[in-house]
Amino acid sequence: MSRTLDPSLAGTPQRDYPTMILFGSIVIATIVGLPLYAYFYDFSWVDWTMFVILYLITGLGITVGYHRLITHRSFKCPNWIKAAFLIAGGMALENSALRWASDHVRHHARCDQKEDPYNATLGFWHSHCGWIFWKDPNRDPKYATRLQQDPLILWQDKYYLPILLSGLLLPFVVGLLYNGWIGGVGCFLLAGLARTFFVLNSTFFINSICHIWGDQPHGTADSSRDSWWISLLTFGEGYHNYHHMYQSDYRNGIRWYNFDPSKWLIWTLSKLGLAYDLRRQSPD
């Protein structure tokens, strides 16, 4: 997704055909391959267990690792914890942390404007997933400057592809060991491809639904909205209006009863001495 070298095309988005083919294949495998496999072979308890485990690991790798730790620096942690989150997030097929976080910093800096990578003013489908199918002519290296000073982020960016593939290979190997080749294919379909599909869409919901429908109790400076039911699908990221108003807070759901597993994980790590300097907005 690099800029075009042709000056006459500067600022004009070009279709990203490899990305279209990759994500199209994942969608087809999920909506066609999954029911076909279930009809002929059915999924085992191992397949479902791997699906849940990898969904939790990769989903929290994005929400806690990529988002709250890397992008917004809402808490600090030892390097081995940061590396674990970078590996978990890398398995989600949402690009390296360097790329993901720099795009997200730009989203906050230029929300609802032309430079916003998932600009909700261009419609639901653009902000949900349509933006990934175009090469981005508005990418600015300044949004990655801070991130490029972190050796762990650069390490993950360098080895992003092996990390990503390990998240797909692992369920195949587990299924293979449990039930042979048929088991390997089933676990790959469910805990590999389908899990990736659902984690991707849970993230996309924040870019689309939480910028179009919902409440704005914390401010109307941009299109961000709170949606409690989206938080049920996204590990607490649905309280998006609060997040846009107070980006560095390690919580998105600030009330004790707000469903925010990401904040609970960060808080638990802090009690174990594995996270510190948790940032939060003043009660005022």
Indicate whether 156 pLDDT > 70.
yes
Three-state SS letters, 62-115: HHHHHHHHHHCCCCECCHHHHHHHHHHHHCCCCCCHHHHHHHHHHHHHCCCCCC
Structure tokens at 35: 């029911």
Indicate whether 22 pLDDT > 50.
yes
Residue 131: burial class (beta carbons within 10 Å; 0-12, 13-18, 19+): buried
59-72 pLDDT, tens digit each: 999 999 999 999 99
| pLDDT grade for 141, boundaries at 50, 70 and 90 | confident
CA dist., res. 102 & res. 235, Å (int): 22
Structure tokens at 217: 């109790």
What is the overall mean pLDDT for the chain? Answer: 91
Count Cα atoms within 13 angstroms, Cβ side, for 113: 9
What pLDDT does residue 140 have?
A: 85
CA dist., res. 55 & res. 192, Å (int): 9
What pLDDT does residue 283 have?
A: 57
What pLDDT does residue 282 have?
A: 65
| pLDDT grade for 164, boundaries at 50, 70 and 90 | very high
| Residue of 246, 192, 242 lying closest to 214 (CA atoms) | 242
What percentage of the chain's residues is helix, strand, coil (to nearest 5)? 65, 5, 35
Tell me, what DSSP letter sits at residue 134? E
Indicate whether 5 pLDDT > 50.
no
CA dist., res. 168 & res. 149, Å (int): 29
Tell me, what DSSP letter sits at residue 144? G
Average pLDDT on 75-85 reads 97
Q: How far is the CA of 60 from the CAs of 87, 130, 182, 199, 264, in angstroms?
A: 11, 23, 29, 10, 11
- Tell me the whole-structure pTM to 2 decimals: 0.92
Residue 226's DSSP bridge partners are 215, 239
